[in-house]
């Protein structure tokens, strides 16, 4: 399966600032996603990062708040804009790929833990 590198692994940010998270994959992948995992909550899909076009956002998430870039098939960034304490969460990059069983399985990066003060 693909190996995913995310940075930063963690950061403490001030209210009102923005932070960009980078995701690098060791192979070309078609489907790349950004998830959020708030404390005690499930993984929530933010958006699908589309190469060469605008990301596809899930209900409750908008481009102005979470702009996403996908310049090629191995790299993507997620920006969390104008942060508030409610944005404190773990943000995970994920790719979809074939497992040995033949299933399309999500592989995740280690996540970026953001704390907004």
Partner 1 sequence: GQNIDQPTEMTATEGAIVQINCTYQTSGFNGLFWYQQHAGEAPTFLSYNVLDGLEEKGRFSSFLSRSKGYSYLLLKELQMKDSASYLCAGGSYIPTFGRGTSLIVHP
**Which residues of the chain form contacts with partner 1 (CB under 8 A)?**
1, 4, 33, 40-45, 48, 92, 96, 99, 101, 103-111
Determine the Cα–Cα distance for residues 19 and 109; give it in Å rounded to an integer. Answer: 17
Residue nearer to partner 1 on the CB measure, 20 or 48:
48
Residue nearer to partner 1 on the CB measure, 18 or 115:
115
Instruction: Give least dist CB 23 to partner 1, A.
Output: 12
Helix (H, G, I), strand (E, B) or coil at 85: helix
Determine the Cα–Cα distance for residues 68 and 95; give it in Å rounded to an integer. Answer: 15
Instruction: Give least dist CB 43 to partner 1, A.
Output: 4
| Tally of residues, the chain | 117
């Amino acid at each position: 399966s693909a190996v995913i590198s995310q940075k930063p692994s963690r950061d403490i940010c001030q209210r009102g600032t923005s932070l960009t998270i980078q995701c690098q994959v060791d192979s070309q992948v078609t489907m790349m996603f950004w998830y959020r995992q708030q404390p005690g909550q499930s993984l929530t899909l933010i958006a699908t990062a589309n190469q060469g076009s605008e990301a596809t956002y899930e209900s409750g998430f908008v481009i102005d708040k979470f702009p996403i870039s996908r310049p090629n098939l191995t790299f993507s960034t997620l920006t969390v804009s104008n942060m508030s304490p409610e944005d404190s969460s773990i943000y995970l990059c994920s790719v979809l790929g074939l497992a040995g069983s033949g299933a399309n399985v999500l592989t995740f990066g280690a996540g970026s833990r953001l704390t907004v003060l």
